[in-house]
Chain A
Amino acid sequence: MALLGPNGAGKSTTLDLLLGLKNPDSGTVRLFGTSPRDAIVAGRVGAMLQSGGLMDEVTVAELVRLACDLHPKPYRPSEVLSRAGIAQLADRKVHKLSGGQAQRVRFALATAGDSDLIVLDEPTTGMDVTTRQAFWATMREQADQGRTVLFATHYLEEADAIADRVLVLHRGRLLADGTAAEIKAKAGARRVSFDLEGTVDEPALRALPFLTSLAVSGQTVRIQSSDADATVHALYGLGLYPRNLEVAGLGLEQAFVAITTAEEAKSK
């Protein structure tokens, strides 16, 4: 499950509240029906903070062993190390790790035991493309074992590629909650483009059903539609003959921009 939002959207604050690191100004936070602290003590939650500090002057293996010792339902340290892909770093001193390696150590600390929920705040920060993809596979593995992996990210690609469910957060408010496909649909899921001959009758095009946006440049018309089939059908109904017709899915990125700009327009 991805918690998606631009920087400053409130992702870290949301996770801090969820984990009991911050207290809400009003209302209460319940995790697994108990307080966040009780859920952690019961071993139901493993978490990795954004650039969360590590103990320095100790080795990776020692730190992971500590995390295992502190977990009520621990795995063996060697298992945790290899699952996080850092078995070869076991004897390395923590303060000598690169950014990406440190992220993997933090991930190892979050997965030291059999938790039901794993919370990761911007887990792939500081990783290059290859390591990021390898890391996604590791996260996926955790989810395949039947646990929920909740991660905050501002990389749309990341949410699109691995999340089964995406929560879009903007300025502290939840704008959308659904699969990546549903979020794309919500924003006007499909992109339709075509060329017209002669003068383009813009008002007529604007009246097309399910249209969410329209851009005309010369003879080329670009439309976003929440039901592309109906829109194209109506297009022919106008007696027009579109050439070079293309219908394509919207990337999550465009969907995201569409949702957040719509929200900003609403608040103005």
Chain B
Amino acid sequence: MNSLIKLELTRALRNRKFLFFSVIYPSVLFLIIAGNAHSTTKVPGTGLTLPTYMMVSMASFGALTAVLLGNSERIAKEREGGWVRQLRLTTLPGRGYVLAKTASAAVVSLPSIVIVFVVAATVKDVRLDAWQWLALTGAVWAGSLVFAALGVAIGYLATGDAVRPITMIIYFGLSMLGGLWMPTTTFPGWLQDIVQWLPTHAYAALGQAIEQSRAPHVQDLAVLVVSFALFAGGAAWLYRKDTLKA
């Protein structure tokens, strides 16, 4: 299985377009959004400066891009093309394919997180304690697993033609409404009440809690755990259905 992970990674690293969007793009977007903001401008109700707040949003966004975009489309297409069937004729265990996809996405998402942090710290003077940097990296990275599972589920749900629009709608919807591009505090009240239940909102809130040096809200943790259970369970169910059908 390691050889499949290695090959998936080689392939991901060779794809310049994908690398740009998942690794470089979040940092660029961070600079555009936080670029003009003064390093001391506060986001209302959080006690965090705008750059600090947006750093977590963009790191989460980058990780989301890396784990969601590539996998859902690849899985749907490779399922249709018959590569998944061909792999079933090898010693690779059934889940190996999905695990390899997730693992390679996780490897690509790590630099996209770290690069946003480095850019924020050097260009916008974001300062945090050492434990906060480490915890933040770990939390954003681990949290991306929720969306990796979502990517797999979409890949097994959608057909090769439909997978891109479906992924895009979910991706942009989750990013925008979850407050990864702008703080949800700028949304009208009724919308805020709804979007706080989105996994992307909980995801970014987890990172912001670490920046504020406080324990994360139970609600956010619960949303993430339930989402993960839902996506992973759905992916597993769809995977089994697909295996029986093929």
Contacts and interface: CB of A to CB of B under 8 A. Distances in A.
Interface of A: 19-23, 40-41, 43, 45-47, 49, 51-55, 57-58, 62-63, 65-67, 69-72, 106, 109
7 contacts: A21-B85, A53-B85, A54-B81, A57-B14, A58-B10, A66-B3, A66-B7
B209 to A, nearest CB: 39
Interface string B1-24: 001100100110011000000000
A43 B89 CA distance: 10
Contacts of A46: 89
B82 interface: yes
Given A66-B3, A66-B4, A69-B3, A57 B15 contact: yes
Contact of A71 (B78, B81, B90): B90
A91 B3 CA distance: 18
Contacts of A72: 91
Nearest to A70: B90
Decide if the interface of chain B is mainly helix, strand, loop or mixed. helix
Given A40-B89, A53-B81, A65-B3, 19 more contacts: A21-B89, A23-B244, A43-B91, A45-B89, A49-B89, A52-B82, A52-B86, A53-B78, A53-B85, A54-B81, A55-B7, A57-B11, A57-B14, A62-B7, A66-B3, A67-B90, A70-B3, A70-B91, A70-B92
Given A55-B78, A57-B14, A66-B7, A40 B86 contact: no
A23 B81 CA distance: 21
Nearest to B243: A21
A54 B86 contact: yes
A142 to B, nearest CB: 16
Report the contact-size class of chain B (Cβ under 8 Å from the partner): 20 to 34
A261 B10 CA distance: 54
B91 A71 contact: yes
A65 B90 CA distance: 13
Nearest to A93: B14
Interface string B84-106: 11101111100000000000000
Given A51-B82, A54-B83, A65-B3, A19 B89 contact: yes
Contacts, number: 65
A53 B92 contact: no
Contact of B82 (A22, A41, A53, A67): A53
Contact of A55 (B11, B80, B85, B88): B11
Contacts of B10: 58, 62
A41 B96 CA distance: 13
Most chain B CB within 10 A, of A23, A49, A52, A53, is at A53
B245 to A, nearest CB: 9
B86 A49 contact: yes
A125 B15 CA distance: 31
A49 B15 contact: no
Contacts of A71: 90-91
A106 B87 CA distance: 12
Contacts of B91: 40-41, 43, 70-72
Given A40-B89, A47-B89, A66-B4, A58 B82 contact: no
A109 to B, nearest CB: 7
Contacts of B14: 57
A95 B220 CA distance: 43
B246 interface: yes
A37 B205 CA distance: 45
Contacts of A43: 91
B82 A49 contact: yes
A53 B90 contact: no
B241 to A, nearest CB: 13
A60 to B, nearest CB: 12
A21 B86 CA distance: 10
Contacts of B7: 55, 58, 62-63, 66
Contacts of B82: 49, 51-53
Contacts of B86: 49, 52-54, 106, 109
Interface string B46-76: 0000000000000000000000000000000
A34 to B, nearest CB: 14
B83 A53 contact: yes
A63 B3 CA distance: 10
Contacts of A41: 91
Contacts of A106: 86
A216 B69 CA distance: 70
Contacts of B80: 53
A62 B3 CA distance: 10
